[in-house]
Chain A
Amino acid sequence: MNFDLTPEQMLLKDSIDRLIASRYSSLEKREAYRKEPLGFSEAIWAQFAELGLLGLPFSEEDGGFGGGPVETMVVMEALGRGLSLEPYLTTVVLGGGFLRHAGSAEQKAAYIPEIVVGNLKLALAQTERQARYDLADIATTAEKTDRGYVIDGQKSLVLAGDSADLFVVSARTSGEQRSQYGVTLFLVDANTPGISRRTYSTQDGGRATEIEFSGTIVSTDAILGPVDGGYPFLEHVIGETIAALSAEAVGAMESLHQLTVEYLKTRKQFGVSIGSFQTLQHRAVDMLMALEQARSMEMYAAMMVGSDNADERRSAISAAKVQINRSARFVGQEAVQLHGGIGMTMEYIGAHYFKRLTMIESLFGDTAHHLHQVARVGGLVAAA
């Protein structure tokens, strides 16, 4: 048993922590990045590339640095602490994940080096309006023709979909609408004719896109992984993404908790710091406990996400998401409450952590969804 980071992981942590601390040192800076054309800082993205972060999870043969889930966790925590807006999760963890697990040698060679240097951004076009959290509920179709495949359908909530150059698109090539069999993944250039995008800003300062594919033609080279066999990859890569998102949540909770404790020490009412009220002390302690519970499950997810036992992996990821969601909600709500009025304002960075944490809850499965997943397989402890 060992929960320590290796010296290299510590160096990585040091680098990314410091980069984020300096680039995201104030809410004003974050607002300025948010107002850039792509909704994040391209300069920071370039710096991520320079530091090798965009190549983190790819193998060395593919042009990356061979990092695993723990390295990703280290990076995502830092991004969470700073409330970073850069599309790391979508490009490197999600998009990169599909390339790593399902990409052919040619696809890897074509795209990974471009990701690593910061030239290519990816997004996943998967969710559909009727699907809610069911990954297999895919109505978008890909029809085989002599020219390749023709994709038709609507995709929703494509995170960072407006800045993406390349989409991973899930479409049905056979099977019923909610069947796991018959889903095929495609790598589709964002500029392919027959794609229209509508982008919304999200509650947490990011962006999400609604995409319509109408008669979008892609060649057979675009197929990612086996025809009709895309579902297991969806599940696996989204599992990895949940683990990464958990780390982001822990980073955000850590910052928010720290802000709250500082505030309790400095805010004075009734002639004393409000942190001297025992009831508020206990609340801050409960927040710490929620944070530590979340941290444990974040680590659990990072350690289990690579497991070959798919059942075990699934339950672990769902269990982690439940704990993360619960802690995120608790820490977020308590932080606002303990700040009083100031916690309710856009001028205060704490409020933005609260919003991001709230949105993390609803991404890739809310508490009810994942609780159901864990319960469905009989929980984590074997029955006596």
Chain B
Amino acid sequence: MKLLVCVKRVVDFNVKIRVKPDGSGVELANIKMSMNPFDEIAVEEAVRLKEQGKVTEIVAVSIGPQQAGETIRTALAMGADRGILVKTDATVEPLAVAKILAKVVEQEKPDLVIMGKQAIDDDANQTGQMLAALLGWPQGTFAFKVAVGEGSIDVTREVDGGLQTVGLKLPAIVTTDLRLNEPRYASLPNIMKAKKKPLDETSPETLGIDVSPRLKVIKTVEPGGRKAGVKVGSVAELVQKLKVEAGVL
């Protein structure tokens, strides 16, 4: 079984984001970039499936500038077998990403696509769903656990207030949630091996996909600073404040 895993290059989750002075977006110059954490979980799950003997080949795909190649290298060092970089310097919106991925799926014909439920930069939470729609494939989103069977996959999903298991016919799309697994660190031997793994390059143009944006960013603002807390004298006062001032009770 062949598996496609999607990896996005985003601002590292440890970096304190700063908004550009003109509000057009966030500061990216000289900022540490890493693989989207949910995508790491996706890669980890893919590698585990391979280690269990359920998957024979893992292809890692990234869409982005030349440096997104580094993100693919990370996936290769974690255990993916080969990479495809769809190179573009443009800002690619979720729909365009989904279209590109659909095209790649068409060419690669994987049995399963695993990707993060969202990317921590734009928090869109759309790409997986759009890709499923474009391909007409079943989807198991927010995966907490996956179990691959014969021509099918059971995906246990995190939903409000509990878990839900859905059975999907392959080929299918799975998007990962935080608790699916704990991604490994790339080991030295695997880093060395990754050096020799193939990384192909293509582009949206070659794939025939128009990535021109359909959305316009009007404004980006920093989150407001946390307000100072107040000390309450009694439980009664607390309840009163929660009711009247916070309006949460």
A55 / chain B contacts, CB cutoff of 8 Å: 188
Interchain nearest-CB distance for A263 vs B (Å): 15
A15 to B74, CA, bound (A): 9
Q: A65 to B34, alpha carbons, bound, how many Å?
A: 24
Interface on chain A toward B: helix, strand, loop, or mixed SS?
Answer: helix
- B189 and A52 form a contact (CB under 8 A): yes
Shortest Cβ distance from B194 into A: residue: A11
Q: Is the CB of B187 within 8 A of A7?
A: no
B17 interfacial by beta-carbon distance below 8 Å: no
Flag if A10 contacts B70 (CB, 8 Å): yes
Interface assignment of B77: CB less than 8 Å from any CB of chain A? yes
Check A14–B188 contact: CB distance below 8 A.
Answer: no
Bound state CA distance, A15 and B14, in angstroms?
14
Closest to B16 in A: A262
Contact in complex: A52, B188 (CB < 8 Å): yes
Interface flags, A8-44, vs B, CB<8A=1, else 0 = 1011101110110100000000000000000000000
Chain B nearest Cβ from A184, distance in angstroms: 33
Q: Does B20 contact A (CB under 8 A)?
A: no
Whether the Cβ atoms of A8 and B191 lie closer than 8 Å is yes
A50 to chain B, nearest CB (A): 6
Number of interface residues of A (CB under 8 A): 19
- A47 CB, min distance to chain B CBs, angstroms: 8
CB of A53 closer than 8 Å to a CB of B = yes
Neighbour of A56 across the interface among B73, B185, B188, CB < 8 A = B188
A14 surroundings in chain B (CB, below 8 A)? 34, 74, 186
- Report B194 CB to chain A, min CB distance, Å: 7
B179 contacts the other chain (Cβ, under 8 Å)? Answer: no
Interface residue B243 (Cβ < 8 Å from any Cβ of A) = no
State whether A11 touches B186 (Cβ < 8 A): yes
Partner of B187, one of A8, A50, A67: A50
Give the Cβ gap from B67 to chain A, nearest Cβ, in Å: 10
Which A residues are CB-close (under 8 A) to B77?
Answer: 11, 15
Query: Which residues on the A side are within 8 Å of B188 (C-beta)?
Result: 12, 51-53, 55-56, 65, 67
Residues of A within 8 A of B74 (CB): 11, 14
Kindly provide the distance from the CB of A68 to the nearest chain B CB, expressed in whole angstroms. 13
A15 touches B195 (CB 8 A): no
A56 to chain B, nearest CB (A): 6
Nearest-CB residue, chain A, relative to B188: A52
- Bound: A24/B70 CA distance, A: 26
**A8–B70 CA distance with the chains assembled, in angstroms:** 9
Rounded to whole angstroms, the CA-CA distance of A19 and B188 in the bound complex is: 13
Q: Assess the A19–B187 pair: CB atoms within 8 A.
A: no
A15 near B189 with CB under 8 A, answer: no
State the CA gap A8–B191 with chains docked (Å): 6
B73 lies within 8 A of A11 (CB): yes
Instruction: Kindly list chain A residues whose C-beta atoms are within 8 Å of the C-beta of B186.
Output: 11-12, 14-15, 51
Question: Is B192 engaged at the interface, CB distance under 8 Å to the other chain?
Answer: yes
Residue of A nearest to B186 (CB): A15
B33 CB to closest chain A CB (Å) equals: 11
Known A-B contacts A8-B195, A65-B192; the reply to A51 vs B70 at CB < 8 A is: no
Return B171 CB to nearest CB of chain A, in Å. Answer: 31
Residues in A with CB closer than 8 Å to B34 are: 14
Contacts A15-B191, A53-B188, A65-B189 known; list 11 others, CB within 8 Å: A7-B195, A8-B191, A8-B192, A11-B186, A11-B191, A14-B186, A15-B77, A15-B187, A65-B188, A65-B192, A67-B188
**B residues adjacent to A (C-beta < 8 A):** 14, 34, 70, 73-74, 77, 185-189, 191-192, 194-195
The 4 closest A-B pairs by CB, nearest first: A52-B188, A15-B185, A51-B187, A11-B191
11 contacts between A and B (CB under 8 A): A12-B188, A14-B74, A15-B186, A15-B191, A18-B185, A51-B186, A52-B187, A52-B189, A55-B188, A65-B189, A65-B192
